[in-house]
Amino acid sequence: MCQAAARKTATFQPRFPLRESPEDLATFATHRNFSVPGTLTEVAMILDGSLLATTIQGEIREAVARHCAEGHPAPVLAAVLVGSEPASEVYVRNKRRACELAGIEGRLVRLPASTTTAELLDTIEGLNRDGTVSGILVQLPLPRGIDSHMVLDSIDPAKDVDGFHPVNVGMMLQGRPRFLPCTPLGILHLLQRHQLPVAGKHVCVVGRSDIVGKPLAAMLMQRSGPLGPDYANATVTVCHSQSAELATITRAADVLIAAIGQPRFVGAALVKPGAVVIDVGINRTPDGLAGDVDFDAVVRVARAITPVPGGVGPMTVTMLLANTLAAARRQTNLTAGA
């Protein structure tokens, strides 16, 4: 039973992408005690991912309600958690809470740390065959001894709402995506909702992970994307641990995205004045959580910057919900056409 169906849906149209006006942005920045560059106080605009995630999750909740009002079951996201690693427990709990608020059913499949690769593959195969499950995610990292690549490859690409399956990665590279990885997609929405286009701009991605750096670079260089050509068509440079003259490269970037897992690595000396800075990192330090960017220093150099926490992280979870709804709609259409 879809509880969200009780909400009003008659006039709802999905609103993302939404374009705020410059006046809205100035009002928002003032509310956060920052101002838009070019006004009296030259301090970076804060790209508040928590606030934006709340807005988009509300839109998703309405879209789910409409989906259910049309007679379809609520989308179902199955999360597989192997072991009891504390950080993974927190991440899964946050995802389940977000599902509940959006009207999506979250199912937790909990397995012991002693689970073998074969046993985990059997579990995933069961979820693949379960017609009530819209999307599947396997919480990473997996315990030592489990073949992560084999596990992720075993998920039905039509239910791979994380966007990690090789089939979905290949479709993304060809510019015809089924699901886009959640963190890169969340970053695009942060840029779009704050009217920070990347077309024709030099974007530097620091980090080459399969989860963020590589797919984000590929999405940014496409001719168009989920939010249109203004949020694609970038000239992209990817830097990594073997990049020479790193500061020379990063200081040439109009948009600098840090995703390396090194606390406060990106200081003001690595940032071009007036650049947009996106901090993907979330690192546990003796002083608490810290991003890959030295926020206190860079906030006085950049045009706009994401905080940690409260920047990219909430958007990642939100895009997972959006992908789950998209999977449910696609499966409904396939069933209707059968």
List the catalytic residues: 95, 139, 162
Annotate 162-209 with DSSP letters as a single string.
T--SHHHHHHHHTT--SS--HHHHHHHHHHHHTT---TT-EEEEE---
Annotate 149-174 with DSSP letters as a single string.
HHHHHHS-GGGBTT--SHHHHHHHHT
C-alpha to C-alpha distance for 32 and 179, rounded to whole angstroms: 33
Q: Are 258 and 281 in contact (CB under 8 A)?
A: yes
- 145: helix, strand or coil: coil
Q: At what angle do helices 49-69 and 182-193 cross, to 10 degrees?
A: 110
In sequence order, the β-bridge partners of residue 288 are 285
Measure Cα distances from 313 to 183, 192, 193, 307, 318 in Å: 8, 17, 16, 10, 9
